Chains A and B, each alone.
Chain A
Amino acid sequence: MPVIATYDATVSYGGRAVVRGVDLAVEPGEAVALMGANGSGKSTLVKAVVGLAPLAAGGIELFGVPQRRFRNWKRVGYVPQRTGAASGVPATAAEVVAQGRLAHRFLGLPPNRSDRAAVTRSLDEVGLADHAHCAVDTLSGGQQQRVLIARALATEPDVLIMDEPTVGVDAATQAALAEVVAARVDAGCAVLLVTHELGPLTDRLDRAVVLADGRVVHDGAPPRPVGEHADPRHQHAHPHANGDSDDFWGGK
């Protein structure tokens, strides 16, 4: 039974189909990358999988249960795209990571020992144990991304769904994230990773699904960097001067 399965999934925004008839299956313990250029529909497909974008047609199942009736969300660790805007009221890294335990807690009851232990362990895993009590908006972009990943890890999920976790993140953090994710894959956690670039994270994948214009154009071995991209000294520069990227981080 696949962890995530979509059947002929179609998502449209304002009448325009962004994802068109995608069949995707992620088996337990499998690490899959969802790749494609900006606007190819990869983020939208993931939003549909977690229920943040409505399906126009087709079906989605999580752990064999139709997504609309799925309630066991503590089996899902979700890392949303990091938004650049700082939030209003300050919160510490530990407080944000503790949100990952809310699915385990009964409404209104204080955290128990395993909740607190999971928060500490997750912060430690992403290397932010020293920053637990720092306000999140004083951390660097890469550290903020690690906080969001720690929050998903604290849920102790069976599947980790990450939307562009490497955008705007330095190489050292990318390598550290690859280690963390690989450890979870080894422990049997499935991973669905949305990315538009190859890096340390994509080296550990079993499979890559490439979307173009909302359709699957490749489903198999992860693509290898070719040409100058394969050169380890290659500087992956994004000149943003042409103004075709939507935000500061060059994401969409």
Chain B
Amino acid sequence: MTLDMSIFGFEFMQRAFISALAVGLCAPAVGVFLVQKRLALIGDGLGHIALTGVAIGFLTGGAPLWTTLATTVAASVVMELLRSHSKTSGDVALAMMFYGGIAGGVYLTGIASDKGVANLQQYLFGSLLTAGWDEVVTIAVGGAAVALLMLVLRPWMSAIATDEQYARVAGLPVAGLNLMLLMTTAVVVSVSMRAVGLLLVSALLVIPVVTVQQFTRSFRATMYGGMAAGFLIAGAGVLASAVQDVPPGATIVLIGVACFVATATAAAVVRRVRRTWRRHPPPEGEPLEVELPAGPVDGPQAAPKG
């Protein structure tokens, strides 16, 4: 198959390519901490809330980008307060975001009836090919700011994501850093969802990170590797979709999922091989804490208990 580069003669194609690459590079920089905190679905949750923000934009005549940003940031603050100050568990809070966000979006667009729900769908799946240059700039600037912040704060962010209790005792500003993590997620979701779609942006937060972590040993390598993988997956997705004339968002996500399945399978095979050949010094054996019965044991009781 030869790749026809003439598609890049179209300006809409250039815009789509740049937007996808920017989101692919920046989203995993935030996503690595979300995966570590077991909040992989939070991007999707904030994306649902963002639908309500878009509808508020329709209703008030304000620019959807800013109403979306305000709504998702506010939601992330409420989410963090719920998580830290009440007995609401993370997944319950997430469920409320999913249901409430969608319902709010549909309800409010219903009130602003001239726009219609069809317009909302554009945000759900994105329309990479209709993005204007100003949107590309917003994505690039917002993404770069978020990625830079996460790169600079990586040791602190990874400390609160790995072991929040230890981070508290180490005197780190845990509440502030947690809030910042959710707010940067909100920024990534809201600046990029109009162009690349809610489905795609939340997938790009998570998939590149879980793909590279099959092979990495350090947090730093996972973060940089995730950003590189996101960049490559997004780029490959746009190219493939242009060749086949299919929606780019879905193509990018499918390529990402395929990469994850492939690396997860390969990693399982490699782990099996490494069991006989290890790169690092093997852990010294820990003595059994139970006394094994001496001599041959007959019957089914030979199976170890506990």
**Contact surface of A with B, Cβ cutoff 8 Å:** 50-52, 71-74, 76, 78, 80, 87-92, 95-96, 98-100, 102-103, 105, 107-108, 111, 130-131, 133-135, 138-143, 151, 155, 168-172, 235-241
| Interface contact A140-B155, CB-CB below 8 Å | no
Interface 0/1 of B222-245, CB less than 8 Å to A: 100000000000000000000000
Interface size (B, Cβ < 8 Å)? 42
A195 to chain B, nearest CB (A): 16
B201 to chain A, nearest CB (A): 20
With the chains together, A239 CA to B291 CA distance in Å?
9
Q: Is B298 an interface residue (CB 8 A)?
A: no
| Known A172-B284, A241-B306; contact A108-B152, beta-carbon cutoff 8 A | yes
| Residue in contact with A155 in the complex, picked from B161, B165, B170, B217, CB distance below 8 Å | B170
| Known A52-B169, A131-B280; contact A90-B159, beta-carbon cutoff 8 A | no
Identify the closest chain B residue to A95 (Cβ): B219
Q: Is B115 an interface residue (CB 8 A)?
A: no
B26 to chain A, nearest CB (A): 18
Residues of A contacting B153 in the complex (Cβ-Cβ under 8 angstroms): 107-108
Stretch from B10-18, B31-39, B93-101, B246-254 forming part of the interface with A: B31-39
Q: Is B131 an interface residue (CB 8 A)?
A: no
Q: Tell me if A's interface is mostly helix, strand, loop or mixed.
A: loop
| Residue in contact with A99 in the complex, picked from B38, B165, B170, CB distance below 8 Å | B170
| Interface contact A88-B172, CB-CB below 8 Å | no
Residues of A contacting B171 in the complex (Cβ-Cβ under 8 angstroms): 71-74, 103
A122 to chain B, nearest CB (A): 14
B168, B217, B284, B305, most chain A CB atoms within 10 A = B217
| Interface contact B165-A238, CB-CB below 8 Å | no
With the chains together, A63 CA to B216 CA distance in Å?
42
Q: Is B72 an interface residue (CB 8 A)?
A: no
| Interface contact B170-A142, CB-CB below 8 Å | no
Q: Is B133 an interface residue (CB 8 A)?
A: no
| Residue in contact with B291 in the complex, picked from A88, A237, A240, CB distance below 8 Å | A237
New A-B contacts (9) at CB < 8 Å, excluding given A90-B219, A155-B170: A52-B168, A73-B170, A92-B217, A99-B158, A102-B167, A107-B173, A168-B286, A170-B284, A237-B290
